Copies of this chain bind each other. A is one copy, B any other.
Amino acid sequence: MTTTPTSQLPADHPLTSGLTSESALLNQYRGSRTSAGAPASPERRPVWFMRQAGRSLPEYRELREGTSMLDSCLNPDMASEITLQPVRRHDVDAAIFFSDIVIPLRLAGVGVEIKPGVGPVLDAPVRTAADVAALPELDDAAFAPITEAIQRTTAELGSTPLIGFAGAPFTLAAYMVEGRPSRDHLGPRAMMHTDPQTWNALAAWAADVSGRFMRAQLMAGASAAQLFDSWAGSLGRADYQRHVLPHSTAALSHVSGLSGPDGVSAPLVHFGTGTSEILDLLKTAGADVVGVDYRLNLSEATRRLGPETPLQGNIDPAFLTADWSVLEAHVREVIAAGSGAAGHVLNLGHGVPPETDPAVLTRVVELIHSIDP
């Protein structure tokens, strides 16, 4: 194999064109743009969609028929196939590993199920010091189906990067304290003040399983990882900083500096909804890239985070049903707003709504790829 640096190859050389297309996403995650805001080399503008693997795709609904959510996540064949489906259909620039936030709980032996139309429901909520002390240890051997699914997926993906996935400690702990989804997350938020020792023990447990879940995915071949803190937006800044940030930092420390398949350290993305007021803290936790939800203009995100911080986001899913001209204008606005950051990977500013027409997502990808970077 030649060791000629790709920058010295002619632009139409297969290796060059392959690399500039295939590593575009990782380059953006690594902040490869020049200081002028232009990319270092002409690459495809990268995009993927949170929840791209899932309910909006008929092929997903067909495959999942008769299999529970968590069982499908732990079946390497199914998890791999579901991860690949949107890459084939939409030509997105990354796969996101199909899994669920509560999978590390299930792997540790915590009784949990996803109830259709409800969400994660635990056999018993975790509310006391004794409940937390009784939480099982997660054995690394339990990650076997994850490792197998990741390996099958990366083998089929070729050079398209696979992004690993885990729920952040607060979000995990929120489900554990409430025992089910809730609107206000008052249970975990109250525990921080009512019994901070138990809160810290619980969040530390969640950080450990979350971090090791991401680590298992990277060790098996994922190229990047995203920590999802779905409910962090329910916290004020002081509470996040004092009671959550240390645990999210601990979760990310499990994967910090870990090399991806390309031999360079795998970029880490941190995302939560309603987190405009704590974006800087999401980065402080140890993230390379900050995911921005649909509420905040990306130029304002760059003002808050500094131009050196690569961003991910933030097409508003509320535009996916609009006239194409309205949606196109919105996508172009998002691209313009993100142009001040050292890197920008297009994404939605929230997950794909289940009722989304997949053809619209495909067209959005085509549009993004058609716009010169």
Contact = CB atoms under 8 A, between A and B. Distances in A.
A296 B278 CA distance: 11
Interface stretch (A53-61, A313-321, A338-346): A313-321
Interface stretch (A40-48, A81-89, A231-239): A231-239
Interface string A288-310: 00000011110000000000000
A350 interface: yes
Interface string A198-222: 0000000000000000000000000
Contact of A274 (B239, B274, B317, B326): B274
B236 A296 contact: yes
A53 to B, nearest CB: 19
A295 B193 contact: no
A352 to B, nearest CB: 11
A137 interface: no
A2 to B, nearest CB: 49
Interface stretch (A24-32, A63-71, A183-191): A183-191
The oligomer's copy count stands at: 2
27 contacts: A184-B350, A186-B317, A186-B318, A186-B353, A189-B316, A189-B318, A190-B317, A190-B319, A190-B320, A190-B321, A190-B322, A192-B318, A193-B318, A193-B321, A193-B326, A193-B330, A194-B321, A194-B322, A194-B323, A194-B326, A236-B295, A236-B296, A237-B296, A237-B297, A238-B297, A239-B318, A274-B274
Give 8 closest A-B pairs by Cβ, nearest first: A189-B318, A193-B322, A236-B295, A190-B318, A194-B321, A194-B322, A190-B321, A193-B319
